[in-house]
Amino acid sequence: MFRILFFILAFTTPAFAQDTSMTAERLAQIIMDIDPDAAITPSGIELTIEDIPVLVVMAPAADRMRAMVPIASVEDVTPEEMSRMMQANFDTALDARYAVAQDRVWGVFIHPLGALEREQFLSAIAQTVNLARTYGTLYSGGAQVFGGGDSNDIYQGLVDDLLNRGQDI
């Protein structure tokens, strides 16, 4: 019996297997690679991407992480803008989302820390920054539209408008 158990453990678990779970330390190193001027603060790690401040908060005990970008004061948001953000959450914000907390609109990405992969995190940072950059215009986390929502018609209207403007040229 012991020989069988030893065989199973020895030959089904590669000797080179490593724990590839994301940790707070690994994520902090990735952040420092992105922005060597990033600062560890009591609330998380603050970095800047294209002049946009990003805050990354980790709760290893809860296996969670959150990347956040401040966008606007809630009191400055019109009902039409709020509706547009909710539409974007459905089809153009991608993995990032518009959220409201502490009287502020945020671009956020929330994910289990241990399952997070480096490429996912880099994409998440790009998406949250894009939410801030496109707030008030395209409300997009990137170049994709998931579909099935209202955004396709809005984008098509913009394309049609631009095409019509060029008709006289």
Q: What is the CATH number of the domain that holds 35?
A: 3.30.1460.10
- Does position 162 have pLDDT exceeding 50, yes or no? no
Question: Whole-prediction pTM value?
Answer: 0.76
Domain-embedded: residue 5: no
Q: Which among 32, 34, 39, 110 has a CA at the least distance from the CA of 68?
A: 110
Count of domains for the chain: 1
Q: Which among 122, 142, 123 has a CA at the least distance from the CA of 131?
A: 142
Residue pLDDT, tens place only, 59-102: 999 999 999 999 999 999 999 999 999 999 998 898 999 999 99
Domain-embedded: residue 15: no
Sign of CA dihedral 55, 114, 25, 17: negative
Domain ranges, residue 162? 22-168
157: confidence class by pLDDT, cuts 50, 70, 90:
low
Domain-embedded: residue 7: no
